[in-house]
Amino acid sequence: MTHNTPTAQPAVLDTIAATRRYVREARAASRRVALVPTMGALHEGHLSLVTRGRELADVVIVSIFVNPLQFGPNEDFDRYPRTFDADLAALGGRADAVFAPSVAEMYPSGASQTTVHAGAVAGLFEGTSRPGHFDGMLTVVSKLFNVVQPDIALFGQKDAQQVFLVKQMVADLDLPLAIEAVPIVRESDGLALSSRNRYLSTTERELALGLSSALRVAGEASASGIAAARRAALAAFDQRPDVRLDYLDIVDPATFLPLGDDATGDALMLVAARVGATRLIDNAPLHF
C-alpha cells in the first residue's frame, strides 16, 4: 500500500456531491479509503483513530457532524461543543479531508423518513437512558457509509455499545467495509478522554476518576469471579457518593448481553455515571 502524505490543511467538503467526487478521484488512483466518523470537539482519542486510519489506508476522511437524530429532547444537542476551526487545525497533517455537512445537507426534508432500527441490544444500557439514540446513530452512520463508501471505518472503543451495534449493522446488511475498534485513550490518571470532559469543573474532574477507578478494582478482583468483580466496582462507587451511578454491568463481548455470575471467558465491564450535570461512560475488558 502506498500512503499519500496529508497536507497541512485537510480539504473541507461540505456537500455529499463534493465528497463523492473526492472519493471517486481517490478510487481512480487505486487508493484505499478510511472513514473516521465524529461529532467534532476532537481530542487525542479521536486523533488516535485518524492515526490508525493512516496505517490502514491511503486516504483518511474525517466526518464532523453533530447528528440531531441521536439526541433526546432533554439532552445536550444545543450545548454540545462545536469547535470546527480547532478541529481542522488538529487534523492538519493527519487527515486528507473533512466531510462537514450541514443538518440540511444530511436531512433535506427535515428528518429521515427511513431510519435504521438498532435491534434489541439498543434498548439496554445507553439505550435505557437514551431511548432512540442508537437508531439515530446507526441511521447517520449508514448515511455516512453510503456517501463515503470507505474500505474501513474506525470507531473508539470507549463507545463500546456503539461499536457493537455498528458491527452488527454492517454484518446484518452486508455492507462492504471493515470496522475497526481503536482502544480507549486515557489521561495519565486514568480518565477516559471524552468531548464532554470539558464540561467538568476541577472538582468534578477529580470525581470523574471514580469510573476508571471502579473498572480498575474490578479487574483486580476478577480472578475471584464475576460477582467479586461487580462487588468491588460497586464498592468503589460507594466511596464516591457525589458520583451518581447510572448503570454498571458485565457483558459478553460477542452478544453484548449481561453475563451470569458463573460465566467464564472474555467479558466487558460497562459503567455510566453522572458527575455534576455531565454524564460519562467507560468500559474495560475482563477475563474470568
Q: List binding-site positions.
A: 39-46, 70, 156-159, 162, 185, 193-196
Which helix (H) or strand (E) segment is 141 a member of? helix 133-148
Binding positions for beta-alanine: 70
Q: What residue numbers does the annotated binding site for ATP cover?
A: 39-46, 156-159, 185, 193-196
Residue numbers in the known binding site for (R)-pantoate are: 70, 162
Residue 98: CB partners within 8 Å, gap ≥ 6?
10, 11, 12, 13, 61, 62, 63, 64, 87, 88, 91
Strands (E), the chain: 11-13, 33-38, 59-64, 97-99, 152-156, 178-182, 243-251, 266-275, 278-287
d(CA 255, CA 108): 35
Q: For residue 178, which phi and psi values (nearest 5 degrees)?
A: -100, 150
Catalytic residues: 46
What 3-state class would DSSP assign to 5?
coil
